[in-house]
A and B are shown apart, each in its own frame.
Chain A
Amino acid sequence: MTNPTEAVAAQSPVQTDVIIVGAGPVGLFAVFELGLGDMKCHLVDILDRPGGQCAELYPEKPIYDIPAVPVCTGTELTERLMEQIKPFHPTFHFGQMAEKLQKTAEGKWQLTTDRGTVLEAPVVVVAAGGGSFMPKKPPIKGIDDYEGTSVFYAVRKMEAFRGKNLVIAGGGDSALDWALNLQPLAKRITLIHRRDEFRAAPDSVSKMRALVAEGKMDLKIANLTSVSGADGQLASVTLVEEGKEPYQLPCDSMLAFYGLTMKLGPVATFGIGLHENLIPVDTSTFETNVPTIFAIGDINTYPGKMKLILSGFHEAALMAKKAFAIVHPDRRYRFQYTTSSSDLQHKLGVDAA
């Protein structure tokens, strides 16, 4: 909901063994497989919590095809994976987008996020699923001209809306929460939603309705069809109420909350080969065409690929074997079972005291 409020100043690079882009189920399980091979991980995710699509798209929906787990929700799967990787103490960089990847003089990868976090590691694992979750933008002609100046998809500073004639579009928790939070600051708020029902916390809905009843906020049940203004400054939006003629609503700022959508984003600029926005990999190691960069989960492609969480888990295991050879070039990879290996059990913290 809320976005990072301030940019983190550039800092000295954090050294680690593996940088994982994406903290969805596959990125999380990769921490486990890499951890068994004594590889420490840092994960970067644009969401503010782990789980990826499991957290954002279907937290409450049941998943039935995780081996040996007859049913669990997206949230439960995420919680269980977080529990499973606890012994390996991964570091998470949430609410940040992996923005730039370059080689250092020592031959390591240096990844910089949009908030200025700098990570360095010999191995990068792209587990970015369908890409970065970004706000859905209304497909309205010319709306881009106002983005960042008078049309916004997130609130960075509440003060920016003081005294504004603000339109808030949407009917979920984000739209309702911000309508309520900004109501005391803005000159006037008009909430626009396509129907007179809201998928938001009932308490927020009652508070909003009370403000509307008191005449302190406006509510329009309408579709937003166009925007107009000049030089990036919004002057009005066009609304269409069912069965009525379109009309203009004067305003000077708009916040639109239509949920999130996935876009590949800066990963496309990392120099990794792409095929139709997916990353081709070698299926014996899940390495991309760039040595020491791997791709696992929904973001990769290979003959016979199936976009299933369980496929991603398998891919993580094979990736970790190759990553071991890169991170520990002086060590010999030893194949072991967690059931019987006291070494692995020690790493997992379950060995007999």
Chain B
Amino acid sequence: MHVYCTDLDGKTHELQATDEWTVMEIIREGGIPILAQCGGSCACATCHVYVDPSWKSKLPEPSEEEVGMLDGAFEVTQDSRLACQITFNKDLDGLKISLAPGSV
């Protein structure tokens, strides 16, 4: 299973994905630098990513806490999510995301 992560230089990386891991952990494990300063507790907004629009409907809605935490991120769009709040599962095999400014 894989997640496709596009970095700030526009390069896409195919990352090995593990069931029940968060997308932030998958990115980090894949060796792509991501700040994720709070370590995944939805407390800092430095793992801000854009989810490819074709995948958005497959993800559960963000919690109110996540939406609030995005206030501390930059260039937030309709596709913005915090990678630490997306839990990977087999239905997300092939998920495409891009790192957002401020997450590296």
Contacts and interface: CB of A to CB of B under 8 A. Distances in A.
Nearest to B103: A139
Interface string A246-270: 0000000000001101100000000
B71 A307 contact: no
A34 B73 CA distance: 39
28 contacts: A53-B38, A57-B37, A57-B38, A57-B43, A58-B38, A58-B41, A58-B43, A136-B72, A136-B74, A136-B102, A139-B74, A139-B75, A139-B101, A139-B102, A170-B71, A172-B71, A172-B72, A194-B70, A194-B71, A199-B71, A258-B71, A258-B73, A259-B44, A259-B71, A259-B72, A261-B37, A261-B46, A262-B37
A223 interface: yes
Contacts of A258: 71-74
B74 A261 contact: no
Interface of A: 53, 57-58, 61, 130, 136, 138-139, 170-172, 193-195, 197, 199, 223, 225, 258-259, 261-262, 307
Interface in B8-39: 35, 37-39
Contacts of A261: 35, 37, 44, 46
Interface residues of B, number: 20
B76 interface: yes
A139 B76 CA distance: 12
Contact of A130 (B37, B45, B74, B76): B37
Contacts of B35: 261
Contacts of B74: 136, 138-139, 258
Nearest to B72: A259
A57 B72 contact: no
A160 B45 CA distance: 31
Interface string B29-68: 0000001011101011110000000000000000000011
A295 to B, nearest CB: 19
Given A194-B76, A258-B71, A258-B73, 8 more contacts: A57-B37, A57-B41, A58-B41, A61-B41, A139-B75, A194-B70, A223-B75, A223-B76
Nearest to A170: B71
Contact of A307 (B39, B43, B70): B39
9 pairs of A and B residues whose beta carbons are closest in the complex: A259-B72, A139-B101, A57-B43, A58-B43, A171-B71, A57-B38, A199-B68, A194-B76, A258-B72
A258 B101 CA distance: 13
Contacts of B75: 139, 223, 225
Nearest to B35: A261
Contacts of A170: 71
A261 B45 CA distance: 9
Contacts of B76: 194, 223
A197 B72 CA distance: 13
A135 B35 CA distance: 15
B102 A193 contact: no
Contacts of A307: 39
B28 to A, nearest CB: 12
B43 A61 contact: yes
Most buried by A among B45, B70, B72: B72
A175 to B, nearest CB: 9
Contacts of A61: 41, 43
A225 B101 CA distance: 12
Contacts of A136: 72, 74, 102
A194 B74 CA distance: 9
A172 B71 CA distance: 8
Contacts of A58: 38, 41, 43
Nearest to A53: B38
Contact of A57 (B44, B67, B73): B44
Contacts of B44: 57, 259, 261
A14 B33 CA distance: 41
A61 B68 CA distance: 15
B71 A193 contact: yes
A130 B46 CA distance: 13
A306 to B, nearest CB: 11
